[in-house]
Every structure is written in C-alpha cells, then in structure tokens.
Structure 1
C-alpha cells in the first residue's frame, strides 16, 4: 500500500469514528430527552376525552346527563396527593352528573389510602352520585380502600348493584369484585334488576367483557390497562397485563349483544413511571338514546 493510500485510509477511519461518535452521542441525547419527556411531562399531561355514549334502554329523563370516569390513580407509585389535586379540580370543572371510578386508587404496598379521603370528598357529582369498584392493586387492602371511598361519599359496588332514580325512572349501576385476585360474580351483581332496565357495569379489568356481554348490560366501564402506558407507532402498546390483552383503550362493542365497553387509560402508572404516546385520561360521557 502506497503512502498516499495509507493516509487516505487513516482519514476515512478518523471520519468514520467521528461520525459514529456523533451518532452515539445523538442517541444518548435522544434517549435522555425521551426519558425526561415520558417521566416528567407526558405522565402529567392529562387528556379530557369526550365520548357521545348511545345507551340501550336509557330512560329519556337521563338523556344529556354527563358521566365522568377516572381510573388507576396508583397513589404511592411516583404519584402523590399533590399530583392528584390537579385531577380533582379538572373533574369538578366538568360538572359531572355522575362520577365513576374503576379501580386501583393506590399502588400495591401503599398502607395509607386514607390520605386520599379529603380529595375524594371534594369531588362533586350533581345528580347521580359517585360510584366505585376496587382494582387488583387495591385488593390486598380491600377493606381499607372501601372505607376510604365510603368516607368520601362513594357508593362502592362489590358484586352488587344500586340505582339512580330521577322523575320516577331508574338507571341501574352494577359493579364486581376484582377479576384478577377477587371473586367476581356478575350474576350476583345484576340479580334482581328487571330485564328491560338500563344497566351499567363497573369492572376494573376490561377482558371480563366477553362474559358480561352475556348479561343484560348496556355498557361496561373499565380501566386496568393504562392504555399500554408506552405505545410505539405501528407496534401499539408495550406494557400489557393480564385481563387486558384483548381490550386496551377506547370504545368497543362486545359479543352478540354488542354491549358497549369503554376502557379508560387511567391517571397514574405502574411497573414503570413513564408514559409515551399514551397520555393519562379523564373521560366525559354524554348520554344519548
């Protein structure tokens, strides 16, 4: 190899190393920026999602009523009371007639769920009250979490139902125990509700919808999935859990009855304290016929 060829190869190697170094540093910078964004920004960039909800057998007196659903706060997992205050203010500004909470108030291991009572008590539902079921993270302190909600004027449904009455018409709300660790019983929850009634179901884990669609339920409201928390374009959700493999986020029609199912992306996070292309969600439903 001539001296000029050796110099040329040396220049090429230096150029390659320089470009590779810049690319490597660029990747590190991009990764750092993405990590900062997903941890510090998107986790708290709440989306208010509006959904026009067409409901079977809805009594006309409830048309135009507004439901607000929130879910999966996971207090104690990189998320505290001060963070939750913003969500409570956001919900109250929406002036809901009914509030649904669909499980996982706390992160597993949080032994002070009572700290949430003052904020939960601040939530206002103008006409139809506040309703809740527990989730898989709530389950091991189930009784404590139920007492927290009851102290904040929520009706907690545990394989049971109740109703909202307005102008002598009734809207039934049923709820079941946690699917993952509890003893859910849909049949027991809806027992005694007239077949021609309008009934909603609160169930933390969405995939139970294949079973609940066999009952006279108009719409199921669920959480649990967090929408996947991290969503990669063209690949979809990355973080998947049991009982949310099929229904991940948004609105579905399930089974032969075409029962409505809505899966809320939740407020907090679990496993990893990040969100990417998957903002936390508060859902506003406007009833229609």
Structure 2
C-alpha cells in the first residue's frame, strides 16, 4: 500500500514537473508561473481530498463525477505536455552526448536549451483533449445519435423480413442532470418506426431511488406492437456499494427489477418467449448479467430451455464478453445478440463507416457496433447514459435501430 502511494506521488510529480516546463519555456512573467504552481497544487489537493471522501455506502454521486471530470480535464492535457517535453529531454540528452563525444564541447554548452516551438506544439496538442473534455461534459453527454443497422440472415422467417428492433442500453439514470435533454431522447426513441424495443440493462448506477425522478419521463416510451422487453445489467445488482445488511441490498435489487415494469418493460430473467408474426415466429431470449470480470448471474442453458437449434433467436445479454466466451460457440445457434455495457469508454474517435478507436477495444474484443463470426452476430450499443466521467467525447450516446432482412450479407 505504501509502495503504491509512493509510486503514485512520484508519477504526479513527474507529470507536474514536465507540464510546468512547457509553460516556463514560453512564459517569463514570474507572477504567472507562481500562480500556475499554486493553482496546480490546489487542484491536486482538492482532487485527492475529494477521492478520500468517497463513501462506499453511497456509491457514485454528482460530487464524485465532478471530481472525475476535473481530474481528466486537468491531467489528460498535462500527460500530453509531459510526453512531448520528456521526449524533448531525451533528444537533448542525446544531443549533449553527441556534442561531448564528437565535438568535445565545453560542459556548459553540452545540453541544448529547450526550444520554444516544442513547447508551443506541446500546448497546442494538449489543448485538443482539454477542449474535447469540456465539450464532452457540457454537450457530448446528451448528443444522442440514432445508429441504424441492417443485418441479413438466410434463415430469417419470411414474416420477419424487414422487422425492426429499437435497442437502448446503459441508462444510468442516477447520472442525469437535464430533464429537457432526456425528454428529447425519449422523443427520438418514439420517432423510430420499429416493431419492438429492447433495453439491455443498467437502469441505475446502484440505487433504485435514482430512477424515481425519471419514471414519468421513461414511461413516455410508446407501446410497440411486438412488445417492450429488458434484461438486467451489472449495475442493477447493487454490487458496487457497501450495504448495511443483505436485507437492504435484496430490497434494493427487488425494487430495481420492479423499475423496468414501472416504465412498461417486461423484464426477462434467464428465460425466453416466442414472438409470433403471422404464421412465423422468432425466439426472444433474455439472460441476466454475465461478465468476464463482473457478476455471472446469466444462465444461457436455462434461458434457452425448450428452444431448438433451428429456431431463429435474438438474445439480450448486457455484457458483450458473454458473446465472446459463451454465446457464439453455443450449439443452439443464437443468430443475433444485443449487448451494451462498454459505453465505448465514453471517449474515443469515431467516423461512422470508416474508423473507430477507443481504449475500450483493449478491454473488450467487441465494444461498439456490429461484429460477426461464423454467421452469428453481436451488436454492442454505445449506451444511452454516462457513468464515472460526466461526459462523452467522440463516442456519443446511442439509440439503435436494427432491421432484420432475409438473405445473405454482401461483404
């Protein structure tokens, strides 16, 4: 514990030292540099103090999200400054060794001075994440996007050719702070001409009461001809706080499960049902959360009991790692899995149809959008809400509309 604290302090000092070098190279006014140092110390003390006040019996609050946002806003740009300025120091050390070995330069002339243009480049690069994070906090987190995806299946029942499913996921209602923006998102959901809506978990961060102010808002989601269904996400189990007793934890969990019904969704707990359309039917399967590094309450065998390999199946499973480790290899052949969970880390770069990158891809093999293997598909929703960092940069909140088509994908 002490060693970890020492390493963390050394890392912060390293970052602070090198980020200061960029300002010192460009700014010569002593009072400005002193002000910078004072502000940096005060911000660091505030951030450390705020994190030490985290109460595990309460969990995430607006204060902890503010602190996380502030920490990223301060230290992501400083890390960029550090990388550039440290890189320059490596160059300067190399140049000094060369000067000494080849030109026998006097000691005082061995180390080249810092170059002003390098500091200017560093500050310019650091401004990109700084401005992006500010945008993400004030605008990006509510910049809802509708992602439309058509998927072809050779064995899709004829009556379901053109069947549309709206998917939402990861609401995290305890993080919301703008009713107008959420109402706009509900209107956006209702504008989609779909046959069914599926909600793939995480209605709250931890406590059922987080959703109470938003029940009326989410109850405005219209009725769908073929139903409104949901499954639980990892946050719905109340696992991330310390409870006074198991009884209170169980009561909270029971109330969270009831929340889905209060907004008109049928919660599926390791079960399945057939959706009938004309003379044809497909199977809708809903499992509880199954995560490689999170709660494993999902029971695919139980959820698919009574189904046949030839049935066309749509599976709701919150965590896409379930598809990677279990679903895609299951002999019952789950045609399409709908997941969420990753949020795309709420930070990344995405140019639809061309390029996408996020730190999420180093944790999850499937982290945003559509993936296929051996004719089996998983779609990972980028999430409706936000958690921990109170914003979104590049990876926007998503409402998904998936159209099922009969035929073969052209790829």
Gaps of 5+ in 2: 1-23, 29-115, 239-251, 407-411
When residues 286 and 111 of structure 1 are mapped into structure 2, their CA distance, relative to the original with a 3 A threshold, is same
Corresponding residue for 2:172?
74
Deviations 1:32-91 (A, max 9, x none): 422221111221111111101223532111111211111111111244554322211001
Corresponding residue for 1:208?
322
3-state SS of 1:73 partner: coil
Matching of residue 279 in structure 1 with residue 396 in structure 2 = yes
Provide the rounded CA distance (Å) in 2 between the counterparts of 1:60 and 1:282.
26
Structure 2 residue corresponding to 1:150, chosen from 255, 261, 270: 261
Matching of residue 183 in structure 1 with residue 297 in structure 2 = yes
Q: Mean alpha-carbon deviation: is it higher for 265-274 or for 103-112?
A: 103-112
Provide the rounded CA distance (Å) in 1 between the counterparts of 2:361 and 2:235.
15
Corresponding residue for 2:215?
117
When residues 80 and 56 of structure 1 are mapped into structure 2, their CA distance, relative to the original with a 3 A threshold, is farther
Asked if the contact 1:55–1:219 (Cα under 8 Å) also holds between the matched residues in 2, the reply is no
When residues 16 and 153 of structure 1 are mapped into structure 2, their CA distance, relative to the original with a 3 A threshold, is closer
| Alignment map for 1:17-32 (pairs within 5 Å) | 17=27, 30=128, 32=130
CA deviation after TM superposition for structure 1 residue 283, in Å? 0.9
3-state SS of 2:399 partner: strand
Q: Mean alpha-carbon deviation: is it higher for 172-181 or for 198-207?
A: 172-181
Structure 2 residue corresponding to 1:160, chosen from 233, 248, 271: 271
CA deviation after TM superposition for structure 1 residue 124, in Å? 2.1
Provide the rounded CA distance (Å) in 2 between the counterparts of 1:172 and 1:119.
30
Gaps of 5+ in 1: 1-13
| Alignment map for 1:38-117 (pairs within 5 Å) | 38-55=136-153, 57-79=155-177, 81-109=179-207, 111-117=209-215
Q: Which has the higher helix share?
A: 2
Matching of residue 138 in structure 1 with residue 236 in structure 2 = yes
Corresponding residue for 2:366?
247
Asked if the contact 2:347–2:395 (Cα under 8 Å) also holds between the matched residues in 1, the reply is yes
Provide the rounded CA distance (Å) in 1 between the counterparts of 2:268 and 2:386.
24
3-state SS of 2:314 partner: strand
TM (normalized to structure 1)? 0.84
| Alignment map for 1:220-231 (pairs within 5 Å) | 220-231=337-348
Asked if the contact 2:133–2:393 (Cα under 8 Å) also holds between the matched residues in 1, the reply is no
TM (normalized to structure 2)? 0.60
Provide the rounded CA distance (Å) in 2 between the counterparts of 1:102 and 1:193.
21
When residues 166 and 28 of structure 1 are mapped into structure 2, their CA distance, relative to the original with a 3 A threshold, is closer
Provide the rounded CA distance (Å) in 2 between the counterparts of 1:152 and 1:80.
19
Q: Which has the higher strand share?
A: 1
Provide the rounded CA distance (Å) in 2 between the counterparts of 1:101 and 1:114.
18
When residues 247 and 32 of structure 1 are mapped into structure 2, their CA distance, relative to the original with a 3 A threshold, is closer
Asked if the contact 1:134–1:142 (Cα under 8 Å) also holds between the matched residues in 2, the reply is no
Provide the rounded CA distance (Å) in 1 between the counterparts of 2:336 and 2:216.
30
When residues 37 and 147 of structure 1 are mapped into structure 2, their CA distance, relative to the original with a 3 A threshold, is same
When residues 81 and 139 of structure 1 are mapped into structure 2, their CA distance, relative to the original with a 3 A threshold, is farther
Q: Over the residues paired in the alignment, what is the CA RMSD in angstroms?
A: 2.7
Provide the rounded CA distance (Å) in 2 between the counterparts of 1:40 and 1:118.
24
Structure number with greater CO (CA < 8 Å, separation at least 6) is 1
| Alignment map for 1:251-270 (pairs within 5 Å) | 251-254=370-373, 257-270=374-387
Asked if the contact 1:74–1:107 (Cα under 8 Å) also holds between the matched residues in 2, the reply is yes
When residues 120 and 57 of structure 1 are mapped into structure 2, their CA distance, relative to the original with a 3 A threshold, is farther
